[in-house]
Structure 1
Amino acid sequence: MDNDFIAETARRFSIPGAAVGVFHNGEEHLFTHGVTSVENPLPVNEDTLFLLGSVTKTYTATAIMRLVAAGRVELDAPVRRHVPELRLADDREVTVRQLLNHTSGLDWGTLADTGEGDDALARHVAELATLTLVGAAGERPSYSQSGYNLAGRIIENVTGQTYEQAMSALVLDPLGLSGTHFDRDAVMTRRFAVGHEKGEIARPWRHWRANNPGGGIAASVRDVLRWACSHLDADDLAEMRRPTARLRGSNLGDAIGVGWFLREIDGVQAIGHGGSSNGQFAELLLVPSLGFAVVSMANQGPDGIPFNQAVVREALRAHAGLLDRDPDPLPYNASAAAEVAGSYDNDAMVMTIENTGSGLVLEVLIRPEIRANAEMDLPADHAPFPMALLPDDEYLLTEGAFTGQRGFFTRSSDGRIIGVDLAGRMFGRVR
Structure 2
Amino acid sequence: MMTSEELTRRLSNLAGEFNVAGASAALWHDGRVTRAVTGTANAHTGAPVLPHTLFAAGSVTKVFTASLAMTLVEDGLLELGAPVRAYLPEFTAEQPDRAAAITVRMLLNHSSGLAGDYMPDLAPGDDVLERLMRELATLPVTGVPGERWSYSNMGMGTLGRLIEVITGESYDTALRTRIIRPLGLNATSDAEELLLRSVAVGHTVNPASGNLSPVSRLRAWPENGPAGSRLWLDIDALIDFGRMHLDGTTSQGHRLLSPEALHEMRTPQFDSFWGCFPMYANYGLGWALVQAGDDPVLVHGGANLGMHSVLYVLPTQKAVLAVLTNSTTGFNLYSALCERLMNECFDISSPAPTYLPEPAVEVDEEQYTGVYRSPNGEVTVDVRDGQLHLRTVPSPSLTTWDRLNGRPTAEVQALPLICTDAERRRFSMDLGSSAGFAAVQFFNPAADGRPAMIRVGTLYERT
Do structure 1's residue 409 and structure 2's residue 417 form an aligned pair?
A: no
Deviation digits for residues 62-116 of structure 1 (CA, Å, limit 9, x no counterpart) = 1111011111111111112222232222223221111111111112143223322
Q: 2:289 aligns with which of 262, 271, 277?
A: 262
Give 1:426's aligned amino acid. Answer: L
Deviation digits for residues 305-348 of structure 1 (CA, Å, limit 9, x no counterpart) = 22211111012023213233534653677877996899865333
1:273 alignment counterpart: 300
The worse-fitting range, judged by mean Cα deviation, of 345-354 and 65-74 is 345-354
User: Helix, strand or coil: the match of 2:316?
Assistant: helix
User: Helix, strand or coil: the match of 2:33?
Assistant: strand
Q: 2: CA distance between counterparts of 1:369 and 1:260?
A: 25
2:158 alignment counterpart: 150
* Pair 327,137 (structure 1): closer, same or farther in 2 beyond 3 Å: closer
Greater Rg by CA: 2
Moved over 4 A (4+): 265-268, 331-345, 350-357, 359-365, 368-372, 376-379, 381-392, 394-401, 403-406, 414-420
Q: 2: CA distance between counterparts of 1:162 and 1:316?
A: 37
* Pair 297,361 (structure 1): closer, same or farther in 2 beyond 3 Å: farther
Is the Cα contact below 8 Å between 1:57 and 1:148 reproduced in 2?
yes
Q: 1: CA distance between counterparts of 2:397 and 2:172?
A: 33
Do structure 1's residue 201 and structure 2's residue 188 form an aligned pair?
A: no
The worse-fitting range, judged by mean Cα deviation, of 414-423 and 128-137 is 414-423
1:119 alignment counterpart: 127
Do structure 1's residue 98 and structure 2's residue 106 form an aligned pair?
A: yes
1:85 alignment counterpart: 90
Gaps (5+ residues) in structure 1?
A: none
* Pair 399,291 (structure 1): closer, same or farther in 2 beyond 3 Å: farther
Is the Cα contact below 8 Å between 1:328 and 1:390 reproduced in 2?
no
**How far off its partner does 1:217 sit?**
1.1
2:65 alignment counterpart: 60
User: Helix, strand or coil: the match of 1:63?
Assistant: helix
After superposition, where does 1:1-400 map in structure 2 within 5 Å? Answer: 2-91=7-96, 92-93=99-100, 94-177=102-185, 179-198=186-205, 199-215=212-228, 216-234=230-248, 235=259, 236-246=261-271, 247-249=273-275, 250-251=277-278, 253-264=280-291, 268-301=295-328, 303-324=329-350, 326-327=352-353, 330=356, 346-350=374-378, 366-367=394-395, 371=399, 377=404, 380=407, 392=421, 393=426, 395=428
Question: How many pairs align?
Answer: 423
The worse-fitting range, judged by mean Cα deviation, of 68-77 and 376-385 is 376-385
Give 2:377's aligned amino acid. Answer: M
Give 1:22's aligned amino acid. Answer: L
**How far off its partner does 1:145 sit?**
0.7
The worse-fitting range, judged by mean Cα deviation, of 92-101 and 198-207 is 198-207
User: Helix, strand or coil: the match of 1:289?
Assistant: coil
**How far off its partner does 1:123 sit?**
0.7
TM-score (norm: length of structure 1)? 0.86
Q: 2: CA distance between counterparts of 1:167 and 1:197?
A: 30
Is the Cα contact below 8 Å between 1:344 and 1:428 reproduced in 2?
yes
Is the Cα contact below 8 Å between 1:338 and 1:355 reproduced in 2?
no
* Pair 320,203 (structure 1): closer, same or farther in 2 beyond 3 Å: same
Pairwise CA RMSD:
3.5
